């Protein structure tokens, strides 16, 4: 099974301490609920979370009642993920470039991971999703990504000692905007403030801003789905 290239991984995972912060505010939880709605996933469903990191979103998915298989190729982050999740989910080192999604999994989720993947890896993953969509039990896939049109993200990267532009630059590669039916699509934008800025300002609105469509320069996130016109 092919592995992710070194250029798609963090150069020093330990430096990214923000990955260890738990998601405990209503705003972020509501944003995650929007992602689940786009993937048509509910409590009790078996999902694959790719690029799970140290488990901050994995923990929330488990709390929401999902049965999670969490994939993280980085050894450092995967050890933290295993320690946090314990026996509440299955942890694997398989990358997003798998050639198939195991039987029983009805949907795929990812949080702040797609922009770390290079072109060949994204293309391979899209082909994997296209095969999974042929299953009668398939629900869908959705991913939460930073909004590249929001200038606050560039400021956040430049102002955060733990973040590196060379690790985040693919955020501005516009490859998600429709090149055929197999491409990932952007059905909506959510949130108003990037998480690091929200933590510093202590501004945590209870309900997320949400607007349909692929273009919105002021949202914090965009939701990317495996099919157009997700409802």
Burial class (CB in 10 A: 0-12, 13-18, 19+), 154: middle
What averages of pLDDT result for each successive group of 10 residues across the chain (231 residues)?
A: 47 54 76 92 95 90 95 86 88 67 92 84 82 90 90 77 73 58 73 61 63 84 72 46
Distance between terminal CA atoms of the chain?
A: 33
Task: Return the pLDDT at 77.
Answer: 86
What is the CATH superfamily name and number for domain 24-225?
Answer: Vaccinia Virus protein VP39 (3.40.50.150)
Give all strands (DSSP E) within the chain, no chain letters: 46-50, 67-71, 90-92, 107-111, 140-146, 185-190, 210-212, 221-225
Task: Return the pLDDT at 67.
Answer: 96
How many CB atoms lie under 10 A from the CB of residue 182? 13
Task: Return the pLDDT at 206.
Answer: 58
What does the domain layout of the chain look like in residue ranges? 24-225
């Amino acid at each position: 099974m092919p592995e992710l290239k070194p250029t798609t991984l963090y150069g020093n995972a330990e430096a990214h301490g923000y990955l260890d912060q738990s998601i405990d505010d209503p705003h972020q939880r509501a944003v995650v609920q929007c992602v689940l709605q786009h993937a048509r996933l509910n409590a009790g469903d078996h999902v694959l979370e790719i690029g799970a990191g140290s488990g901050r979103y994995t923990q929330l998915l488990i709390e929401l009642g999902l049965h999670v298989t969490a994939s993280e190729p980085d050894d450092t982050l995967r050890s933290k993920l295993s320690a946090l999740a314990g026996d509440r989910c299955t942890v694997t080192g398989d990358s997003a470039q798998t050639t198939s999604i195991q039987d029983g999994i009805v949907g795929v989720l990812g949080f702040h991971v797609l922009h770390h993947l290079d072109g060949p890896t994204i293309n391979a993953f899209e082909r994997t999703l296209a095969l999974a969509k042929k299953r009668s039990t398939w629900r869908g896939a959705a991913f939460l990504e930073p909004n590249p049109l929001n200038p606050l993200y560039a400021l956040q990267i430049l102002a955060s000692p733990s973040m590196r532009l060379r690790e985040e630059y693919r955020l501005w590669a516009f490859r998600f905007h429709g090149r055929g039916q197999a491409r990932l699509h952007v059905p909506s934008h959510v949130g108003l403030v990037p998480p690091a800025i929200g933590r510093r300002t202590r501004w945590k609105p209870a309900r997320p801003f949400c607007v349909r469509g692929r273009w919105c320069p002021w949202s914090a996130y965009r939701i990317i789905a495996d099919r157009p016109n997700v409802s």
